[in-house]
Homo-oligomer: A and B are copies of this chain.
Amino acid sequence: MKILSRNTVLMFVTFSSLFICNNAFSQKKDQMVRIAEIEIEPAYLDEYKKILKDESEASVRLEPGVIAIFPMFEKENPTQVKILEIYADKASYQAHLKTPHFLVYKNSTLKMVKSLKLVEMDALDVKTMPALFKKYD
C-alpha cells in the first residue's frame, strides 16, 4: 500500500511535468521571432529609412499581435539593414501582411531592396522575454 501510494505520487509528478512542459512548448511554437537581413540600393537609403520608420511604428501601434519591429543599420555599412520582428503567432503575421501600412511599405520599397533574407529564430526563453527589455526613454 505504501509502495502504491509512492507510485501514485510519482505518476502525478510525471503527468504534471508533462503538462507544464507541453504548455511551455506550445507557447514557444506559436511565437515568431525573425531577423530580416536586407541590402538597400545606396541611392535610396534615406527614402527607405523614412518609409520603414512609418511602417514599423504603425505596425506596433495598430496591431496587437505585433510585439516588436525593430530596424537597425550596420554602422560600418548602413545599406546593410537588420530588422528584429516578433509576432505573437503565425495568424498575427499573416494579418500583418495584409495591413495597408505593410502594403505601402512593400510596394514602395520593392525597387530599393537589392536582397532580402529572412532568418527564423527561437528566443532563448519566451517566459523571460519581458525581463530582457526595458522601456527606453
A residues at B contact (CB < 8 Å): 33, 35, 49, 52-53, 56-57, 60-61, 66-76, 78, 82, 84, 86, 119-126, 128-137
Q: Would B61 and A136 count as touching, CB distance under 8 A?
A: no
Provide the bound-state CA to CA distance between A33 and B81, in Å: 13
Q: Would B136 and A129 count as touching, CB distance under 8 A?
A: yes
Known A-B contacts A52-B124, A53-B124, A124-B49; A132 and B69 likewise in contact (beta carbons under 8 Å)? yes
For A122, what are the chain B residues with a Cβ–Cβ distance below 8 Å? Answer: 72-75, 78
Q: Would A67 and B136 count as touching, CB distance under 8 A?
A: yes
Contact of A130 among B49, B66, B124, B136 (CB under 8 A): B136
For A78, what are the chain B residues with a Cβ–Cβ distance below 8 Å? Answer: 122
Provide the bound-state CA to CA distance between A73 and B109, in Å: 29
The 8 closest A-B pairs by CB, nearest first: A72-B121, A71-B124, A75-B120, A129-B136, A68-B133, A70-B132, A73-B122, A67-B134
Provide the bound-state CA to CA distance between A136 and B133, in Å: 10
14 A-B contacts (beta carbon < 8 Å):
A49-B124, A57-B128, A60-B132, A61-B131, A69-B132, A70-B84, A70-B123, A70-B124, A71-B132, A72-B123, A73-B124, A74-B120, A75-B122, A86-B136
